[in-house]
Amino acid sequence: MPLAVNLRHLEAHDINLEGSLPVDELQIDTRDEVIQVHRPLDYDLEVQKLEDGLLVQGRLHLVLECQCVRCLKPFQYHLDLKHWTCHLPLQGEDRVTVTSDCVDLTPYMREDILLEFPRHPLCNPECRGLPGISVGGARSSSGSGKTEVGSPAWAELNKLKL
Ligand SMILES: [Zn+2]
**How does pLDDT run across 46-101, given as a tens digit for each residue?**
999 998 999 999 999 999 999 999 999 999 999 999 999 999 999 999 999 999 99
How many angstroms separate the alpha carbon of residue 130 from the centre of ligand 1?
Answer: 8
| Residues near ion ligand 1 (Cβ under 5 Å) | 68, 70-71, 73, 123, 127
How many angstroms separate the alpha carbon of residue 33 from the centre of ligand 1?
Answer: 15
pLDDT at res. 32: 78
Residue 58 pairs in a beta bridge with 45, 84
pLDDT bucket at 149, cuts 50 / 70 / 90 = very low
Long-range contacts of 13-21 (CB under 8 A, 24+ apart): 14/46, 14/47, 14/48, 14/49, 15/46, 15/47, 16/44, 16/45, 16/46, 16/47, 17/43, 17/44, 17/45, 17/46, 17/47, 17/58, 17/105, 18/43, 18/44, 18/45, 19/43, 21/106, 21/109
Residue 147 has pLDDT above 50, yes or no: no
How many angstroms separate the alpha carbon of residue 131 from the centre of ligand 1?
Answer: 11
pLDDT bucket at 148, cuts 50 / 70 / 90 = very low
Burial degree of 3 (CB within 10 A; 0-12, 13-18, 19+): buried
How many angstroms separate the alpha carbon of residue 11 from the centre of ligand 1?
Answer: 50
How many angstroms separate the alpha carbon of residue 30 from the centre of ligand 1?
Answer: 20
- The whole-number average pLDDT for the span 123-150 is 62
Per-residue pLDDT tens digits for 5-38: 999 999 999 999 999 999 999 988 877 789 999 9
How many angstroms separate the alpha carbon of residue 62 from the centre of ligand 1?
Answer: 21
pLDDT at res. 141: 45
Residue 144 has pLDDT above 60, yes or no: no
- The pTM of the full predicted model, rounded to 2 decimals, is 0.76
